[in-house]
Every structure is written in structure tokens, then in C-alpha cells.
Amino acid sequence: HNLFFLKNLLKGNLAATKIQIVPNIVADIFFEPPDKKSPKVGKIELPMKYILFCGRLTPVKGAKELIQAFVLIKSLFPTLKLVIAYPSVQYDQSYFKEIKQIILTSNIRRSVVFLRDVSQKDLVPLYRNAKCTILPSAFEMSPLVVLESLACGTPVIATDTGDIAQTLSYIDPQLVLHNNHPKTIMAKLLYVLKQNKQWREHIKRRAITISTKHQ
């Protein structure tokens, strides 16, 4: 649908320019009915209660600030885990070492799960079973992580950058991060984690509705 719209928009004088269309389309797999089996990623069984970060391990993505926020809320939610799914591409090794040091120093090693190069198929249960997906980036345009998670009916907390605020404000304005300071992230996580089942069902319906516009 988005590709059709862009092609029509670029007709006329723009047709001869060197513009390549890269559609921001959510794959159909993220809209498929839930699998009733025990949620797994490969052979790894997912934690019972976790929040999800899905993105590159580079400073701009805000993973370090998220881990610092996770340290702050861990005492309130002892069984809560943080799952970090990241690709091998654009992997910042020194940044990863910095993150690992915070985890070791804070004694939360058993509460943080790293998953590398997760397939698209395995991303579905990863999104779907998370309490929320969080993307505390300093800069984004229109990240697929947000749309894919919403297509799975899972709320997303993300920084006000690119078109994120417009998307999330339709679902719940409280999901928008106005900065990625650890205490700001902590406050948003607390907001989501303390919500009841009725709120989550309402958010799920709205999330799926807005994500279908990107099919």
C-alpha cells in the first residue's frame, strides 16, 4: 500500500530523478495468529516476564541508558528480565564491553539475556511475549522495530524522534520518551509494567490497527 502511494507521488517530473524507493513495510508474518506452543527463540526458551530491546549495539540506540534504567527498577520487579536482540552488523565492540561491565558491576548478569542475529521468524514470539519493546534511541527515522512490535500487539516505548511520536501518540501518548535519560526510561517502564489487563487489551487493538497501515 505504501509503495503504491509513493509511486503515484513520484509521477511526473520526479519520475526521471535518481530516487530509489525503500518502502517501510511490515512483513505479513508479524500479523499471523499466535502460536500456542511454549515461546522459544531457536532452542532458547523465553523468560516468563521480560522487556525487549531490539536493535544495533551502538551508542545512538540507547542500550546503555536502558540497562541503567533496568538496574533502577530491578528491585521492584525481581523476576523481570531484559532481553537484548542485536544484529552482527554495525556492532560496536567497545560499546558492548561497556554495557557488559555495567551488568557485572550491578550484579544483574542473570537478568539480562543477549540474543544475536535473531531470524525474522523468531522475532515474532520475541515481540509477542514481551511486556513491552523499548527503543531509547537518540536518533531514528521510522524504525521497523516499532511497527513490528505493534503488529504483534505489544506496546512500545520509544524516543520522540522521526515519526515515532506520531505513531505512539495514537496508541498512548505516555509511551513516548522525551529523552533517553535512565530515570526517564525507568518512569515509562514503570507506567507500562503497572498497567492492568484491560489497558493491555486496549493498547493491543490500537497497536495492530495502526501497524496494518504499513502492510
Write down the mean pLDDT value for the chain.
87
Contact indicator for 213, 158 with CB cutoff of 8 Å: no
**pLDDT tens by residue, 6-58:** 455 555 555 555 555 455 688 888 888 777 666 777 778 889 999 999 999 99
Amino acid at 155: P
Question: Which residues of the chain register pLDDT less than 50?
Answer: 1-2, 5-6, 21
Residue 19 burial class via C-beta count within 10 angstroms: exposed 0-12, middle 13-18, buried 19 and up: exposed
3-state secondary structure of 81: strand
Q: What pLDDT does residue 1 have?
A: 44
Indicate the SS3 state at residue 6. helix
d(CA 102, CA 68): 8
**What pLDDT is attached to residue 54?**
96
Cα(first)–Cα(last) distance of the chain, in Å? 7
Residue 82 is which amino acid?
A: L
Predicted pLDDT at 91: 82
Query: Which pLDDT does position 23 carry in this prediction?
Result: 55
Helix axes 144-151, 120-128, angle to 10 degrees: 60
> Do residues 157 and 175 make contact, with C-beta atoms less than 8 angstroms apart?
yes
Instruction: Report pLDDT for 130.
Output: 96
How confident is the model at residue 4, as a pLDDT? 53
pLDDT of residue 17: 54
Going by C-beta distance under 8 Å and a sequence separation of 6 or more, which residues neighbour residue 55?
61, 63, 85, 86, 135, 137, 143, 145
Confirm if 82 and 112 have CB atoms less than 8 A apart.
yes
Find out whether 130 and 83 touch, Cβ atoms under 8 Å. yes
Q: What CA–CA distance (Å, rounded) separates 72 from 207?
A: 28
